[in-house]
Structure 1
């Protein structure tokens, strides 16, 4: 191994990160879909040429993709066969290192001076991938085929040329196909830009030096993560969380997690979780593992991200549970919802051991909402996919953030002005979900409450959300956060989904309104210990009514 000085190591580390960041920015700026260009539901990374292990990922990429893109790149490597410069594979198969079908991955071999040096990969959330309902979030699917088009690793680009036959297969199986070509070209162009930037880095520092830096960065991340883990006392810990239902059978799903800490390592066992479910809330193994990775990264954010970051984490494959989905189990809710319950179980297991590093549960739902139809004003079909934020949990020393992004990503809600410009909808309200923050010495942040009216034509609405029956749990005596609620107002009648947080194909006509309340975060610590001045401030701000404050904070609210 070539010796490398600390300054050069740091510069190369920043250079690799910058390559990924430029891919992220390029993808967002060129993408057609607002879910990518505005919500930033995408990620880019560099992966090892043989193992497929993560080398670097962009600062702006979704945390849930840290692990899954590593696994999907490995699946491409195993099946690639002969490769050439300019090839780009497309894959969205959840069982091959994926998430749900809407997360489409592009994987490109990167050659330097005629030799394969690494793989570049990215993921973009396509607003539709076919299936039973517009947007792909089928709440009632009982097999993967009902969720949309499933693609194994195939070469969409061959030596830089787009394969029109494969493209036609994809376009013939999804809605608003004519709009996807813009996203496809943006996704491919981001990888091309990444290749150019990585070439510049190698030209400047030399192949052997960069290779040595990559190996050293991996080693250091592993050591640093082990040192961080040693802040947790040795022992066995148990955490659990619950999903409302699977969308088909109206029974909660339990995630039960055993964590064992020994000598700089953490072992995770989910084998006591619920059995595979009928509906789309099963999780594929890649998403299950990635959920644990991102949860630990939330606890120890200072550790740089690469494959070494997760070496001290041992995860037992949860065979026989809904967290080890195999064909043909439906999985549309795994990445956006189940993943957050897994992370919640990790937080629950460790909060008593390291309360100074943890927090009460955040909102824990992406609040996936898809509406599809045809706009009579333009005569064009559309699929609008929207996500919403929620409250973060309180922590030792502070209240939770209001309307933060989900646990699994940095994706943000699209501006309502953009949605109103592109789709036949109007937002009548977009405000905080008052009273939704869990009470505690440090309260949870508030969720949001919006009302959106369909202006023209008819449409079908589908939603896959969670925490409608169980609010985000409080910690160390704190109260649970407020729950998800969905109400559709039609012809003077209010319709609420039987499964509370999940439904599909709900027919809406012009003038109908969909109303969504997202969860607040859990409270941290005994509510009676909250500073009365802070309770009074919350009441003045409208976070709680005086009656709510008195009921939740007791004497502190009356002082």
Structure 2
């Protein structure tokens, strides 16, 4: 995305009150789409964990017009690229058509993030596109749940769907549905998720029609121009608070799941006035395993990182204009067919963000924080419940500690840095699947020490109650804990322990592994990372140290570590 000069101040004919009402109205439409999507989905990962997003995108180029506050941030830039890809390949679409797509190389993420794009017509003319994403618990592939840690090509990861017309003029194509359901596990649940996504798009079309009826097409169009220009001005004003200069940092991934060596994400950030550019060209080359990141995910990761730093800028295409991300061709952050990418959206994205945070902490320590846990903690368990004879796939992700910041300790058990998802209630999972959570607790002492310590991760044990299941893991920060900044210590690294027939093991690749066959009574322990510390530990106040000891968060000097 090329740099642009600062927009000139313009005088909008839309009065400030109407402008605000239209802005909030568009956001509310997207949030209502999110709620419809959530409440009608069959899969707990959508209905309980909110792993989905809905938005409104421009008819000419797919640019973001609005996204609801309930949607996952990582999809901010991703769905913009997905919609653009659909426009380029499918051309004009009729009213009532819905395109189905999950191809990572066409503006996607991993295969489990399945997207739908619907044209929206107003008074017989194309006005915009409505797009959404839902994480399906399975799209086929070598392992239940799709998080295959040893894949060496995309075809091993699951069903790859180019932009195909799932719905034509309001009628769902049964042949497309049959093809999709025949290639995934537990297909009876997926048809419910398919209809939920379509219902969310339909709800958006109804509400958007109402907004345009109320204010008129001309007024809303003018408001969109003004809203984008305002976001650009706000973003540039925030970037101007960063001292001009070049800043760099390196973040490390445990491995690619195949070759047991770290991957490097190296970023150079150049700040000049109200423009900021990102260069990842010195990062590791394309990897054999599934930790490659496609361009849409890499781009969106930078956008979300900047939004973490400057959260008050309204989200639309205007706030992206001052941000240039150079395409890192020749690295694992610009995956091309047939590179495997199962870990790109959930894991590689968070390391990209970590690199950005570390680099800019040198320039604006009063606006940044030490590294968060930075992993979604993906775990999948699939099998057949002998009590019902039905197949199942449990996909679960968990929270971790956020880094200490300039005014306090980090958040404990926070969600991943790419989303606003929450862990699914264990009671719901225990009702649906043949398993039991023996323990779910804070991982006390896991936050890195500092003037302000990192927040804590979580510790849980899940045990298979009956039958046989196959587990796979795709996590991060097992080799290295989340780093501290300004002299702070790193948080505790991720730890996985598997018990099979009374014998305990841990994955060779620290946080990644697959093919673990569990029988009744076998269990899995997961200890998620704590956040990094902010500032030297010696500067931590006596009051804060005493509180930690009183809560028994850390052992006293000389006591054995927890």
Q: Same fold (TM over 0.5)?
A: yes
Give a deviation string over 1:389-446, Cα, whole Å, max 9, x none: 0000000011001000000000110000000000001000000112110000000000
1:378/1:238 Cα in 2 relative to 1: closer, same or farther (>3 Å)?
same
**Whole-Å separation in 1 of the counterparts to 2:192 and 2:154:** 26
Residues 490, 513 of structure 1: 8 Å contact kept: yes
**Whole-Å separation in 2 of the counterparts to 1:514 and 1:299:** 36
Q: CA deviation at 1:274?
A: 0.2
Match of 1:127 among 123, 134, 137: 137
Residues 435, 548 of structure 1: 8 Å contact kept: no
Are residue 69 (structure 1) and residue 79 (structure 2) matched? yes
Are residue 479 (structure 1) and residue 489 (structure 2) matched? yes
Match of 1:438 in 2: 448
1:549/1:71 Cα in 2 relative to 1: closer, same or farther (>3 Å)?
farther
Instruction: Please provide the CA RMSD for this pair.
Output: 1.2
Q: CA deviation at 1:548?
A: 7.8
Match of 1:545 in 2: 555
Are residue 191 (structure 1) and residue 191 (structure 2) matched? no
**Whole-Å separation in 2 of the counterparts to 1:66 and 1:137:** 22
Match of 2:37 in 1: 27
Are residue 308 (structure 1) and residue 318 (structure 2) matched? yes
Q: CA deviation at 1:6?
A: 1.0
Are residue 322 (structure 1) and residue 332 (structure 2) matched? yes
Match of 1:256 in 2: 266
Match of 2:27 in 1: 17
Are residue 491 (structure 1) and residue 501 (structure 2) matched? yes
Match of 2:153 among 126, 136, 143: 143
1:150/1:548 Cα in 2 relative to 1: closer, same or farther (>3 Å)?
farther
Gaps of 5+ in 1: 553-559
Matches within 5 A, 1:190-269: 190-269=200-279
Name the TM-score, length of structure 2 as normaliser.
0.97
Q: CA deviation at 1:538?
A: 1.2
Give a deviation string over 1:293-318, Cα, whole Å, max 9, x none: 00000000000000111110111100
Q: CA deviation at 1:83?
A: 1.6
Residues 246, 269 of structure 2: 8 Å contact kept: yes
Residues 446, 543 of structure 1: 8 Å contact kept: no
**Whole-Å separation in 2 of the counterparts to 1:450 and 1:187:** 32
Residue 356 of structure 1: SS of its match in structure 2?
Answer: helix
Matches within 5 A, 1:479-558: 479-547=489-557
Match of 1:43 in 2: 53
**Whole-Å separation in 1 of the counterparts to 2:303 and 2:52:** 18
Q: CA deviation at 1:551?
A: 9.2
Residue 366 of structure 2: SS of its match in structure 1?
Answer: coil
Match of 1:557 in 2: none
Give a deviation string over 1:214-271, Cα, whole Å, max 9, x none: 1111111011100000000000100110000000000000000000000101010000
Are residue 347 (structure 1) and residue 357 (structure 2) matched? yes
**Whole-Å separation in 1 of the counterparts to 2:557 and 2:63:** 54
Give a deviation string over 1:176-228, Cα, whole Å, max 9, x none: 01111111111100000000000000000000000111111111101110000
Match of 2:400 in 1: 390
**Whole-Å separation in 2 of the counterparts to 1:216 and 1:105:** 29
Q: CA deviation at 1:547?
A: 3.4
Residue 365 of structure 2: SS of its match in structure 1?
Answer: coil
**Whole-Å separation in 1 of the counterparts to 2:412 and 2:551:** 13
**Whole-Å separation in 1 of the counterparts to 2:556 and 2:424:** 33
**Whole-Å separation in 2 of the counterparts to 1:507 and 1:162:** 38
Matches within 5 A, 1:97-116: 97-116=107-126
Match of 1:159 among 164, 169, 172: 169
**Whole-Å separation in 2 of the counterparts to 1:425 and 1:543:** 30
**Whole-Å separation in 2 of the counterparts to 1:82 and 1:171:** 27
**Whole-Å separation in 2 of the counterparts to 1:341 and 1:175:** 30
Residues 467, 484 of structure 1: 8 Å contact kept: yes
Deviating runs (4+, > 6 A) in structure 1? 548-552
Matches within 5 A, 1:443-454: 443-454=453-464
Residues 107, 295 of structure 2: 8 Å contact kept: yes
Q: CA deviation at 1:549?
A: 9.0
Residues 92, 104 of structure 1: 8 Å contact kept: yes
**Whole-Å separation in 2 of the counterparts to 1:443 and 1:551:** 17
Residue 557 of structure 2: SS of its match in structure 1?
Answer: helix
**Whole-Å separation in 1 of the counterparts to 2:219 and 2:444:** 55
